[in-house]
Amino acid sequence: MSPSPREVFLRLVHGVADGNFGELPDLYGELTDVRHPMATPESEPLTSRRALREHFTVPPEVRESQPKRRVADVVVHETADPEVIVAEFAYEFTAPDDSTAKVPCVFVMRVRDGRIVESRDYIDPIRTYTARGDLDLLITALRKDVS
């Protein structure tokens, strides 16, 4: 029996939080449609498992410099369509000085036969860059975008 959409969602977000990026592409269908509508700067849709593998590739030196994160405040809403869920949650980042920052997220996912075939991932970009200590990267990217 295939895992439920809720189970696949939980594997995804906990995999991200735990840094298990190599395993995450296998949660997606060979063909998929993943979009990040709030991405800043804008990002292209990810339409294949191969594209997701590239998306989740994080060099070890970058991975080690990232603050720790955990999944918090999870609420999963079932819909009339058994393939579709709406999941509210937050990534809670812990900085080296033990301060924390929450990044609210909402994912709308379609899971078919245990694989994500469509997802809209709404993640607050400013809070994400701030929580990771990368606000300068965001500012640089935005300056390039308007040039």
pLDDT at 108: 98
**CA dist list (Å): 102 to 5, 22, 62, 95, 105:** 24, 24, 20, 11, 10
pLDDT at 145: 65
**Residues across the chain:** 147
Q: Say what the pLDDT of residue 62 is.
A: 67
CATH of domain 5-146: 3.10.450.50
pTM: 0.89
Ramachandran angles phi, psi of 94, nearest 5°: -120, 120
